[in-house]
């Protein structure tokens, strides 16, 4: 080696170590200033993340939403200072909700100094939409790696749908860093099993094998052979014995890049070089500030100015700019030039890609959606939804989804010609098969939505409990994931209490930002889907019946378009001046309408209100809400085959809520309805009790 080459190598090594230690010291200082956080994991993983970002990640800091960028997910979200340091040092720019690049840093040094403080871009755990460059909100362990599987599926599907000979518009890779906690959580096993089955060779997980959790050493609760487990899942597994060995890390990442048949797990053994020789990697290292004295000793161990805080030495930002920055800019510039050629040759596909990336719909997206005629026998919500879904999916080519092994029951299979199945042998299919993995399905759906794929996933409503964390995360992230739940009441019948959702609807309504929708007849299902498709930032829980619901005569009753406002007057008293209001959702709307018809015959001034979405109703003006539920009318009855929790918001403290106050029972539907008091006659009786109270 020439002396010049040797000097260059030495300088490269110096800058490598300087940058790694900058990441470490920023983490120490930020956690100490906040008096809160986890310094140990960012310190230990600094060389791992640095090697990935500087030498491999295809990411342009000037355009963090470039469609073909590689994705980086920090699944161990408690190590958030790791990604904040990287975003700052790499010079990642901010982007606003209108997809406009602002030219300013996503994470400024002042944000790091205000780590975990109100309105800082450096929240306690990484948050999508709050800080540009963060691909998904992480924190609940295991959800990050599971979400990364959705991103990898999206890349494979987009490649099949959009790429053409000479035009590789989508070929991005997905990286996720996980800790022991992620590996212990069941969701990671569900997701890893599916990823191996699908042979997602564009997916790389890095497992920080530091053998430490909050309680202490993992030996207390975790002794499985993770490598063997992942080999059994069908993954390529490689190991790096020392997280500080950049060359071995580079070799491991190159092994991933060379792998064409399997996802890759890189197991990295990490430990932290403390200033105190007797200090251990314990909870104090991972869940608490280190203390000023320990920080000084550790900085001294790094050869760092021990009294300097939030120091970014000269040359560090420039070093990142010459590596990751230059590579990312070159890749993005070439991609944009290629896209212009692609637009000229494949204008329809280019337009699809543009609209998909901006969460816009194609022209005539609702073509073929027709109203349903009146039908006393009616149809099940799930059946109508399945037909609507197939119509929409033919109009919106990037609408796809599946179920947790329940598509025949949830009616979510796309059956039109060319829909196909997404498998390891054909990534072009639009029917996804999640297997019986509800928790992972929810997170994978979020990964697809974050990749701008309009997607849905379905299951029985009772199993929404398994999906609580990803549904909640979708709401926090404000992404339009579509969660479809059928078998929505005691209407499940003979399956009994284990399968009859009682409290699930109320608990879903309790999630801020989630729109719950429980349509009450076929036309409400159609209008519900029209509303769902136009959402850009709200996730939806679409709740559908297994049993048939009568299709209302819309020449007699109000248009189902009222669904868009969450609640609307279906049938009214003469002159629009009711003495009693009947409210219902879903299949119980038929009971309310039947009661209204009976009361009207008896010259009782009644109004029936369909309330498919409380959230949408609350978004309306006070004037509209009062027009539907006049405050002066206090005689009110609600009917819903679920927990009555929350209904007193609308029926008032003196109104009557007909619903479930226990779990259900195993019996045919009609027997259950009789036992628990669900009928038009029961609503009539309740209405008369309400009217008698007011006299």
| SS3 of 631-656 | CCCCCEEEEEEEECCCCHHHHCCCCE
Active-site position among 438, 524, 640, 656: 438
For the record, the structure tokens of 146 come out as: 């599971």
Report the distance separating Cα 450 and Cα 137, nearest Å.
Answer: 10
Residue 438 a catalytic site member = yes
Task: List 455's β-bridge partners, or say none.
Answer: 400
- Match 């992942």 to its residue by tokens: 230
Answer yes or no: are the C-beta atoms of 612 and 566 closer than 8 Å.
Answer: yes
Report the distance separating Cα 252 and Cα 259, nearest Å.
Answer: 11
Instruction: Please state the separation of Cα 439 from the chain's center in Å.
Output: 11
Answer yes or no: are the C-beta atoms of 678 and 587 closer than 8 Å.
Answer: no
Q: How does DSSP assign 399-436, residue by residue?
A: EEEEESS-HHHHT----STT--B-BTTBTT-SEEE--S
Report the distance separating Cα 583 and Cα 571, nearest Å.
Answer: 11
For residue 237, report the phi and psi dihedrals to the nearest 5 degrees.
-120, 130
3-state secondary structure of 677: coil
Number of C-beta neighbours around residue 12 at 10 A: 13
Number of C-beta neighbours around residue 597 at 10 A: 15
Length of the chain: 695
- Match 């002159």 to its residue by tokens: 575
Q: Which residues of 627-660 are buried (b: 16+ CB within 10 A; e: fewer)?
A: ebbeeebbbbbbbbbbbbbbbeebbeeebbbbbb
Task: List 423's β-bridge partners, or say none.
Answer: 426
Q: Which residues of 121-151 are buried (b: 16+ CB within 10 A; e: fewer)?
A: bbbbbbbbebbbbbbbbbbbbbbbbbbbbbb
Report the distance separating Cα 177 and Cα 57, nearest Å.
Answer: 13
For the record, the structure tokens of 422 come out as: 């997404």
Give which of 48, 55, 448, 16 is closest to 244, Cα–Cα.
Answer: 48
Report the distance separating Cα 203 and Cα 155, nearest Å.
Answer: 10
Q: How does DSSP assign 11-71, residue by residue?
A: HHHHHHHHHHHHHHHHHHHHHHHHT-S--HHHHHHHHHHHHHHHHT----TT-TT-TTPPE
Distances (CA, A) of 284 to 83, 211, 546: 21, 15, 52
299: alpha, beta or left, given left = phi > 0 and alpha = psi -120 to 50? alpha
Report the distance separating Cα 23 and Cα 31, nearest Å.
Answer: 12
Indicate the DSSP class of residue 549.
E
For residue 325, report the phi and psi dihedrals to the nearest 5 degrees.
-60, -50
Answer yes or no: are the C-beta atoms of 526 and 384 closer than 8 Å.
Answer: yes
Residues labelled as active-site residues: 438
């Amino acid at each position: 080696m020439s002396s010049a080459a040797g000097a260059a190598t030495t300088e490269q090594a110096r800058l490598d170590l300087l940058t790694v230690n900058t990441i470490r010291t920023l983490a120490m200082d930020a956690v100490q200033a906040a008096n809160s956080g986890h310094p140990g994991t960012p310190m230990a993983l600094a060389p791992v993340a640095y090697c990935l970002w500087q030498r491999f990640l295809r990411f342009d800091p000037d355009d963090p939403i470039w469609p073909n960028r590689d994705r980086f997910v920090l699944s161990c979200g408690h190590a958030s200072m790791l990604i904040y340091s990287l975003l700052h040092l790499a010079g990642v720019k901010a982007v606003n909700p209108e997809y406009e690049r602002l030219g300013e840093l996503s994470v400024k040094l002042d944000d790091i100094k205000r780590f975990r403080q109100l309105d800082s871009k450096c929240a306690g755990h990484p948050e999508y939409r709050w800080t540009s460059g963060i691909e998904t909100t992480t924190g609940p362990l295991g959800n990050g790696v599971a979400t990364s599987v959705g991103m990898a599926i999206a890349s494979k599907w987009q490649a099949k749908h959009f790429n053409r000979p000479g035009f590789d518009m989508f070929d991005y890779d997905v990286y996720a860093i996980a800790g022991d906690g992620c590996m212990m959580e069941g969701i990671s096993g569900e997701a890893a099993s599916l990823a191996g089955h699908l042979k997602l060779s564009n997916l790389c997980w890095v497992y920080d094998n530091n053998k430490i959790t909050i309680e202490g050493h993992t030996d207390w609760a975790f002794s499985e052979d993770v490598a063997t487990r992942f080999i059994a899942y069908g993954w390529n597994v490689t190991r790096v014995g020392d997280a500080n060995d950049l060359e071995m890390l580079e070799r491991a990442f190159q092994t991933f890049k060379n792998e064409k048949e399997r996802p890759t797990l890189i197991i990295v053994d990490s430990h932290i070089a403390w200033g105190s020789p007797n200090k251990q990697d314990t909870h104090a290292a991972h869940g608490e500030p280190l203390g000023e004295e320990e920080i000084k000793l550790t900085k001294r161990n790094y050869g760092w100015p021990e009294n300097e805080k939030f120091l970014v030495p000269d040359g560090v930002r420039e070093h990142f700019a010459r590596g990751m920055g230059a590579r990312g800019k070159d890749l993005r510039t070439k991609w944009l030039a290629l896209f212009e050629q692609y637009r000229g040759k494949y204008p329809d596909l280019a337009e699809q890609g543009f609209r998909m990336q901006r969460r816009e719909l194609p022209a005539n997206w609702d073509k073929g959606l027709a109203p349903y005629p009146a039908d006393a026998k009616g149809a099940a919500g799930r059946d109508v939804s399945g037909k609507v879904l197939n119509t929409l999916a033919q109009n919106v080519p990037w609408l796809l989804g599946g179920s947790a092994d329940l598509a025949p029951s949830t009616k979510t299979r796309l059956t039109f010609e060319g829909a196909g199945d997404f498998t390891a042998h054909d990534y072009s299919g639009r029917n996804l098969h999640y297997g019986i993995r509800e928790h992972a399905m929810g997170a994978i759906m979020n990964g697809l939505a974050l990749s701008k794929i309009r997607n849905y996933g379905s299951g029985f409503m009772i199993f929404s409990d398994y999906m609580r964390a990803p549904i909640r995360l979708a709401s926090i992230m404000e992404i339009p994931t579509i969660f479809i739940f059928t078998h929505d009441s005691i209407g499940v019948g003979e399956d009994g209490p284990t399968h009859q959702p009682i409290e699930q609807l109320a608990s879903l309504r309790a999630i801020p930002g989630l729109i719950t929708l429980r349509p009450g007849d076929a036309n409400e299902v159609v209008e519900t889907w029209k509303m769902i498709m136009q959402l850009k930032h709200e996730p939806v829980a679409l709740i559908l019946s297994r049993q048939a619901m009568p299709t209302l005569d819309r020449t007699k009753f109000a248009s189902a378009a009222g669904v868009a406002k969450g609640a609307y007057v279906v049938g009214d008293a003469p002159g629009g001046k009711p003495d009693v209001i009947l409210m219902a959702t879903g299949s119980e709307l038929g009971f309310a309408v039947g009661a209204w018809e009976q009361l009207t015959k008896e010259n009782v001034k009644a109004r029936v209100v369909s309330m498919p979405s409380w959230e949408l109703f609350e978004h309306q003006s006070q004037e509209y809400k009062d027009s539907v539920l006049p405050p002066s009318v206090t005689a009110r009855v609600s009917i819903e085959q679920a927990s009555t929790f929350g209904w007193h918001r609308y029926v008032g403290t003196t109104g009557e809520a007909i619903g479930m106050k226990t779990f259900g029972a195993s019996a045919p539907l009609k027997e259950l309805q009789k036992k628990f008091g669900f009928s038009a006659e029961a609503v009539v009786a309740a209405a008369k009790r309400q009217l008698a109270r007011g006299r």
